Amino acid sequence: MFHKLESVEQRFQEIESRLSDPALADQPGEFRRLSQERSLLEPIVLEYQNYRKTKAEIVSNKELVYEKDADISEMAKEELRILEPELESSQQRLQVLLLPKDPNDHKNVMLEVRAGAGGEEAALFVAELFRLYQRYCERQGWRVTVLSVNGTGLGGMKEIIAEVQGSGAYSRLKFEGGVHRVQRVPATEAQGRVHTSTVTVAIMPEAEEVDVDINPTDLRTDVFRSGGAGGQGVNTTDSAVRLTHIPSGLVVVCQDERSQLKNKGKALKILRARLLDLETEKAAQSQADSRRAMVGTGDRSERIRTYNFPQGRLTDHRIGMTLYQLPEVMEGKIDEILDGLQTHYQAEALKAQGVGSHQ
């Protein structure tokens, strides 16, 4: 581990030197790339410096323990009682910081929420779950832009797709993908029986053009009139767009904007994210065993969470966490769950690497 830390620190110093070179001002792309790399390495370097400083203080205080002056000796012992646990904590933090980084962690998110089993009740929960994510994103200072929505007559949604823009959005939300189960009495249930419905969430890193190269000859574009409840500008122009990616068979429809050009732009954004998601999934299949050991494989058939309204209970099945704070959760207060998932992931990743205190 410490050999790797020395290499990281050396690389950090090289980047610092490069960034101070005035000639780099003429290379904005290289300046941006180096700045991003520096921001990734800085927390590791600062923690390593803290580790070395703490270790040096321990060595110094161990020498003072044998001083003839009883007061100095006692002060050194007291310092050691503080410093030794801090050294152990610092080493644990370094082990976590050295875990392989997800290359998508810094990216914005394409969030898709779809109704599963349960008919209108599932569609209503799509709207509520999306509102939960909106509230959470507001708390983080992230921007949420709806790209496509397929509503129902009773205020529910069969599907909603949105872009989440903000620092660390993907790193924070990536474990939300999967099947979310809701148990409650629907408003239309006369007998007061609890029904179970499901909603599917997909969390995809937003794909730039450089991430996914789409050949225009692989795309089929169809335009048609937007469907809707009527009103000015609806059903009067061929503004809706359906994009079909022929090689993969993926189809994206956007009809929320009155402009055909805007709808096509949104559809392309969604298509790129789905294609990147497909590529990521294929690459991950070769690591299926290690993926199963982690939380949040991203498998959309995996039931990850249950929202039980009669008991006010939320359970995340992957980490066995149960909270009796469902009203607060539905207002977007999900940090405790996300922290638990992140901690579990890090612990499993360390275990998979065979990292122990002997390092």
Quick check: is 172 in a domain?
A: yes
Give 14-50 as a DSSP string. Answer: HHHHHHT-GGGGG-HHHHHHHHHHHHHHHHHHHHHHH
- Say whether both 78 and 56 belong to one domain: yes
Structure tokens at 289: 């065993």
The residues, ordered by sequence, that sit 6+ positions from 58 with a Cβ below 8 Å of its Cβ are: 80, 83, 84, 87
Q: What percent of the chain has pLDDT over 70?
A: 87
- Say whether both 152 and 184 belong to one domain: yes
**For residue 148, which of 118, 99, 110, 186 has the smallest C-alpha distance?**
110
- Say whether both 128 and 61 belong to one domain: no
Per-residue pLDDT at 211: 66
Average pLDDT, stretch 134-146?
94
- Say whether both 315 and 189 belong to one domain: yes
- Say whether both 192 and 66 belong to one domain: no
Average pLDDT, stretch 166-195?
87
Total domain count, the chain: 2
Quick check: is 134 in a domain?
A: yes
Collapsed DSSP state (helix, strand, coil) of residue 46: helix
- Cβ–Cβ under 8 Å, residues 138 and 332: yes
Q: What share of the chain is helix, strand, coil (3-state, %, to 5)?
A: 50, 20, 30
- Cα separation, 297 vs 95, in Å, equals 22
- Say whether both 148 and 192 belong to one domain: yes
- Say whether both 186 and 320 belong to one domain: yes
Helices 70-97 and 28-64, axial angle in degrees (round to 10): 150
Domain boundary, last residue among 74, 97, 120: 97
- Say whether both 34 and 115 belong to one domain: no
- How many other CB atoms are there within 10 angstroms of residue 357's CB atom? 8
Q: At residue 357, does pLDDT exceed 50?
A: no
- Cα separation, 172 vs 55, in Å, equals 33
Per-residue pLDDT at 298: 44
Domain span at residue 63 reads 2-97
Instruction: Give the CATH number, domain containing residue 119.
Output: 3.30.70.1660
- The more confidently predicted of residues 26 and 173 is 173
Q: At residue 4, does pLDDT exceed 50?
A: yes
Average pLDDT, stretch 109-122?
90
Quick check: is 44 in a domain?
A: yes
Question: 280-321: per-residue pLDDT in tens?
Answer: 777 666 555 444 444 444 445 678 999 999 999 999 999 999
Question: 14-67: per-residue pLDDT in tens?
Answer: 999 999 888 888 888 888 888 888 888 898 999 999 999 999 999 999 999 988
- Say whether both 310 and 169 belong to one domain: yes
Instruction: Give the CATH number, domain containing residue 20.
Output: 1.20.58
Per-residue pLDDT at 286: 53
- How many other CB atoms are there within 10 angstroms of residue 229's CB atom? 8
Per-residue pLDDT at 234: 46
- Cα separation, 80 vs 85, in Å, equals 9
- Say whether both 174 and 319 belong to one domain: yes
Amino acid at 212: V
User: Among 141-145, 224-228, 338-342, where is mean pLDDT lowest?
Assistant: 224-228
Quick check: is 40 in a domain?
A: yes
Per-residue pLDDT at 292: 47
Average pLDDT, stretch 333-347?
90
- Say whether both 315 and 186 belong to one domain: yes
Q: How much is the pTM?
A: 0.69
Quick check: is 316 in a domain?
A: yes
Collapsed DSSP state (helix, strand, coil) of residue 179: strand
Per-residue pLDDT at 9: 92
User: Among 69-83, 87-101, 158-172, where is mean pLDDT lowest?
Assistant: 87-101
Domain boundary, last residue among 62, 97, 132: 97
Per-residue pLDDT at 50: 93
Q: At residue 182, does pLDDT exceed 90?
A: yes
Average pLDDT, stretch 106-133?
92
Most confident of the following: 101-110, 117-126, 180-189: 117-126
Q: At residue 184, does pLDDT exceed 60?
A: yes
CA distances from 337 to 14, 135, 205, 343 (A): 39, 15, 21, 10
- The more confidently predicted of residues 129 and 357 is 129
- Say whether both 41 and 116 belong to one domain: no
Domain boundary, last residue among 45, 73, 97: 97
Most confident of the following: 42-56, 181-195, 335-349: 42-56
